[in-house]
A and B are shown apart, each in its own frame.
Chain A
Amino acid sequence: MSLRKRVFLNVKINKGRSVGLFLVLSMILLFILVGLILEQTAKEAIQRVKSSANATVTLTANREQAFRNITKPKGTQQQLTLPAVRIAVAKKIAAATAVKSYNVSSMTTVKAVSFSAVTETADASATHVSGRKQNTENLSLLGVTRTTSLIAFSSGGSKITQGRALRASDGRTRNIIIEEQLAKKNKLKVGSKISIKSSSQKNISLKVVGIYQGGAPASSLALGQMNTSNTIYAGVETVNQLKNTNGMADSVTFSLKNAVVAKKFVKMASLQLDSSQYVLAADDSVYRALLTPLNNVRTFAKGLLLVSVSLGTIILTIIVAAIMSKRRAEIGILLSLGEKRMKIAAQVGSELLLIGLVASVMAVSGGTTLGNLISKQLIQQNSANASSLTIGTAQNQQAENNATTEEVSAQTGTQQGILRQNQQLKTLTVHLSWNTYGKLIVLGSLIIVLAVLIGTAHILFLEPYRFMSR
């Protein structure tokens, strides 16, 4: 009877033993498979995040340094002007290959002339209690290079519903985009003209080229502005003309091609800057917030793999050793017939591999379900932490400075980005590929081979005579 037939017959005849081994192997393989599936899924998701998550780097003036200079007693009274960024400096940095695009941002407060601002706030009673009735509604005129690269838009928080977005070529024109509610209230359409009054009491006429929905980030509120619908996007040069700050910006935001290089980019670009004048800060928090739960899943998966493979090997080795003791007589006959020890080990190993193969099918049916359950649990737990953290920092930032806009709006955009992408993560479903199944088979076989080599050693390397003492 050939070795192959012996393997099948042995598995078939010793049903109790085979069923027991089947259950043990199913459990071991199930845990390994869950580890493999989670690892693979997390790896793929990380890859996706790395290639898709956007990171921005914001250049602002070093305000801290500027304020310190002001507070220094110098005898003469100094005029308090908010420091700004030279656009020329930003352009130099934007030349780096890591930069996908950049956005110059400059904001000013204006008053409506030919129309009226949106007044009803979400919390209307608050205005009554305070008794403050705004006579002249402040609006914020936010000059940007292009609206598409603003995080508020790219993250999906705001979107164009009519007309078009603002482009770089709109810089010198009087083209603007306004919020849906502001348009509705004043019956403004694409093509409508409005007029505003700047702080220097000049009246200017602006042309609506697009209408956006969703409100600007709450942080873009100008001093005295009550409603985010009152944020109007315009070209940078238009705003600068009103402010009389040509060639300057409140901040410049660089969108990077790849979030992975954000830190390195900041380091390199900072070398070109005078740090007493400028601050360059990376905001790769979307990227990081997304990566954290995924990395945790991956770490968990790796741990699970390590534990299940090593524990599986130990358990299986003990079981094999126990089975071998019960099979002393059989081994003794084989040895007395002149069967090679390696062939005996191969028979025991093949029996296990055969049962293991059946068990792997069992593991596959349970593994995907269990993998999904665990991945959902881990993602939920981790992303809850991640979003509460960023909401916290965004609010702090907002309280800290009212002067700059894009910086905070980036934060709020980030927050929206995380929430949106978390939505994707919540539906992060694991799947089983042939590749993963192949890995399961390889790892399973490895465990079986190890367990057989170790578990049969004490029997196989004794002198055959020992098997005769009965």
Chain B
Amino acid sequence: MLRTKKLSYWYGNAANKLFDHVDLEFTAGHLYAVVGKSGVGKTTFLSLLAGLTRPSKGVIEFEGRGLAKIGMLNYRKRHVSMIFQTENLFSYMSALDNLLTAMEITEAHHAGDQGYALQQLEQSGIDRRSAQCRVTQLTLEQQQRVAVARTMCCDSQIIVADEPTNQVGQEGAGDILELLQAAAYEQQRCVIVGTKKVEVAKKCDAVVELHQRKFEWL
């Protein structure tokens, strides 16, 4: 579904490559973990997969077509959803409005369907009352749950999550990972999670480590 071909990336100086000649493939129905030490380049790699950054060298292909060819904007809009570490949501809106906005912008299949959005929120552990609250009144854990629900509402086959449970307690982190597992196994999406935490990596069915410019399947 998603593959990198001779992917290289560096900031500024080509001598200081974060990674070089990366050939990886990610397929639908799996929950992947990208692990590595802090500062090794996980976030950078994920942003490349999410179409937020252009490769320094090499290409990323979605279903056999290069992202540049699909169009970065179009790719972000239709094929990938991103969950950030924090501040995932429009702070001036309710949880429900966040979902409805995302659905509208991405022109999702269920765009405008409030009931569907509420249902997704409920499945992510956000009740109806909380769904109507301004998101700033929710806990960080609840906010991450809303972010997960948002990716479910969008039709994207790929979900990229960068340290999605970093700001969340043990129990909440487990719930969120279960939601991502469900997305991968039940909805046959391709979910890629960047993490430093071993407990998170353990819940994924494939783990790739970035170490000294190389990716290695564990």
A469 to chain B, nearest CB (A): 7
Chain A residues near B102 (CB, 8 Å)?
A: 337
B90 touches A330 (CB 8 A): yes
B175 to chain A, nearest CB (A): 22
Given contacts A9-B93, A468-B162, contact A340 B101 (CB under 8 A): no
A329 to B90 Cα, complex, angstroms:
8
A337 to B160 Cα, complex, angstroms:
12
A interface bracket (residues with beta carbon within 8 Å of B): 20 to 34
A336 touches B104 (CB 8 A): no
A333 touches B52 (CB 8 A): no
Let me know if B73 is at the binding interface, CB within 8 A.
Answer: yes
Let me know if A88 is at the binding interface, CB within 8 A.
Answer: no
Q: Mark B9-48, 1 if CB is under 8 A from A, else 0.
A: 0000000000000000000000000000000000110010
B53: nearest residue on chain A (CB-CB)? A465
B105 touches A337 (CB 8 A): yes
B88 touches A333 (CB 8 A): yes
Given contacts A330-B91, A465-B47, contact A1 B104 (CB under 8 A): yes
Chain A residues near B104 (CB, 8 Å)?
A: 1-2
Chain A residues near B217 (CB, 8 Å)?
A: none
Q: Quick one: which of A13, A329, A338, A470 has the most chain B CB within 10 A? A: A338
A464 to B49 Cα, complex, angstroms:
13
Given contacts A336-B82, A337-B106, A470-B86, contact A1 B100 (CB under 8 A): yes
List which B60-96 residues lie within 8 A (CB) of chain A.
Answer: 73-78, 82, 84-93
Given contacts A13-B134, A337-B77, contact A468 B47 (CB under 8 A): yes
A59 to B75 Cα, complex, angstroms:
86
Let me know if B203 is at the binding interface, CB within 8 A.
Answer: no
A14 to B91 Cα, complex, angstroms:
10
B79: nearest residue on chain A (CB-CB)? A338
Q: Mark B98-118, 1 if CB is under 8 A from A, else 0.
A: 001110111000000000000
Chain A residues near B84 (CB, 8 Å)?
A: 332, 336, 468, 470
Given contacts A13-B134, A338-B106, A465-B53, contact A333 B89 (CB under 8 A): yes
A338: nearest residue on chain B (CB-CB)? B77
Given contacts A9-B93, A13-B134, contact A468 B105 (CB under 8 A): no
A332 to B54 Cα, complex, angstroms:
16
Chain B residues near A330 (CB, 8 Å)?
A: 90-91
A2 to B105 Cα, complex, angstroms:
8
B87 touches A329 (CB 8 A): yes
A361 to B202 Cα, complex, angstroms:
62
Let me know if B141 is at the binding interface, CB within 8 A.
Answer: no
Of the candidates B52, B74, B134, B162, the one whose C-beta lies within 8 Å of that of A335 is B52
Chain B residues near A10 (CB, 8 Å)?
A: 92
Chain A residues near B105 (CB, 8 Å)?
A: 334, 337-339
How many B residues face the partner with a CB closer than 8 A? Answer: 34
B76 touches A338 (CB 8 A): yes
Chain A residues near B89 (CB, 8 Å)?
A: 333
Given contacts A463-B54, A465-B53, contact A338 B88 (CB under 8 A): no
Chain B residues near A6 (CB, 8 Å)?
A: 90, 101
Let me know if B179 is at the binding interface, CB within 8 A.
Answer: no
Q: Quick one: which of B54, B104, B154 has the most chain A CB within 10 A? A: B104
A26 to B44 Cα, complex, angstroms:
44
A338 touches B74 (CB 8 A): yes
Chain A residues near B43 (CB, 8 Å)?
A: 468-469
Let me know if B209 is at the binding interface, CB within 8 A.
Answer: no
Let me know if B50 is at the binding interface, CB within 8 A.
Answer: yes
A12: nearest residue on chain B (CB-CB)? B92
A343: nearest residue on chain B (CB-CB)? B105
List which A435-470 residues lie within 8 A (CB) of chain B.
Answer: 463-465, 468-470
B76 touches A335 (CB 8 A): yes
B52 touches A340 (CB 8 A): no
Q: Mark A312-347, 1 if CB is under 8 A from B, else 0.
A: 000000000000000001101111111110000000
A313 to B8 Cα, complex, angstroms:
42
A318 to B154 Cα, complex, angstroms:
36
A427 to chain B, nearest CB (A): 51
A470 touches B134 (CB 8 A): no
Q: Quick one: which of A334, A335, A336 has the most chain B CB within 10 A? A: A336
Chain B residues near A336 (CB, 8 Å)?
A: 50, 52, 76, 82, 84
A13 touches B52 (CB 8 A): no
B88: nearest residue on chain A (CB-CB)? A333
A368 to chain B, nearest CB (A): 36
Given contacts A336-B76, A338-B78, A465-B52, contact A470 B85 (CB under 8 A): yes
A13 to B74 Cα, complex, angstroms:
30
A464 touches B93 (CB 8 A): no
A345 to chain B, nearest CB (A): 14
B73 touches A340 (CB 8 A): yes
Q: Mark B141-174, 1 if CB is under 8 A from A, else 0.
A: 0000000000000100000001000000000000
A333 to B53 Cα, complex, angstroms:
14
A397 to B31 Cα, complex, angstroms:
103
A299 to chain B, nearest CB (A): 46
A468 touches B77 (CB 8 A): no
A14 to B134 Cα, complex, angstroms:
12
B11 to chain A, nearest CB (A): 11
B92 touches A14 (CB 8 A): yes
A205 to chain B, nearest CB (A): 98
A339 to B86 Cα, complex, angstroms:
20
A130 to B15 Cα, complex, angstroms:
109
- Besides A330-B91, A469-B43, A470-B85, 18 other A-B contacts (C-beta < 8 A): A1-B104, A2-B104, A9-B92, A13-B92, A332-B84, A333-B88, A333-B89, A335-B76, A336-B84, A337-B105, A338-B73, A338-B75, A338-B106, A340-B73, A465-B47, A468-B43, A468-B162, A470-B87
Q: Give 23 CB contacts A-B under 8 Å.
A: A1-B93, A1-B104, A2-B104, A6-B90, A13-B134, A14-B92, A329-B87, A330-B91, A332-B84, A332-B87, A333-B90, A334-B105, A336-B82, A337-B77, A337-B105, A338-B75, A338-B78, A463-B54, A464-B47, A465-B47, A465-B52, A468-B47, A468-B52
Q: Which 9 A-B pairs have the closest CB atoms?
A: A338-B77, A338-B76, A329-B87, A13-B92, A465-B47, A1-B101, A464-B52, A465-B53, A465-B52
